[in-house]
Amino acid sequence: MVYYNENGILIRDLRQSDAEIITNEERAQGWDSTIDKYEMRLKHQAEGISINLIAEWNGNIAGYINIYPNAKSGAFADMGYAEIVDFSVLEKYRRRGIGSRLMDIAENIAFSYSDVIYLGVGLHSGYGSAQRMYIKRGYIPDGSGVWYKDRICEPYSDCRNDDELVLYLSKQKALGERIK
């Protein structure tokens, strides 16, 4: 399914053929990526558990985002809220509006399932631009504190500042807000 197609940006469902391309592109920019993550997303998509979007820039895969309409993990697990998971735009395609458009589409999809959506954002400096973007888009901390490896990180407990250290943020649909 195509969700958006304007100004060189195409947003569509994830396809099997995308998994290897994305993995290779992430490795090329120095990330420790494996195809397993994308194969899992494809499985979830086939099972109806998630909606997985790909963004193309002038025909090249540029980014992705995933929506879980009834999330089973994180700060709002099993509450009937939609979660946005694993959002990224490849470095060479940033600052072209691709990430904003992906978030717009993902939020619209998520809000069609629940009035509250949430996401976890990493805390190390590599997530700095994402942290700022989420706050500008109206996300606020959920109040549960920092999570590490899918569990609340209790005060004074050990954790590591890696991709597993996250803060959950949520956003509520404004009263009367229309889905675009």
Domains of the chain: 2-172 (3.40.630.30)
Give the tens place of pLDDT for each residue, 10-62.
999 999 999 999 999 999 998 888 999 999 999 999 999 999 999 999 999 99
- Sequential DSSP letters for 63-122: EEEEEETT--SSTTTTTT-EEEEEEEE-GGG-SSSHHHHHHHHHHHHHHTT-SEEEEEEE
Q: What is the pLDDT of residue 80?
A: 92
Residue located via tokens 């959950």: 168
Q: What is the pLDDT of residue 176?
A: 54
Position 73 confidence tier, pLDDT thresholds 50, 70, 90: confident
Give the tens place of pLDDT for each residue, 146-161.
999 999 999 999 999 9
pLDDT mean over 118-140: 93
Q: What is the pLDDT of residue 74?
A: 85
> Could you tell me how many helices (H) and strands (E) the chain has, helices first?
4, 9
Position 177 confidence tier, pLDDT thresholds 50, 70, 90: low
Counting Cβ atoms within 10 Å, is residue 99 exposed (0-12), middle (13-18) or buried (19+)?
buried
Position 72 confidence tier, pLDDT thresholds 50, 70, 90: confident
pLDDT mean over 80-104: 94
Q: What is the pLDDT of residue 175?
A: 63
Q: Are 166 and 146 in contact (CB under 8 A)?
A: yes
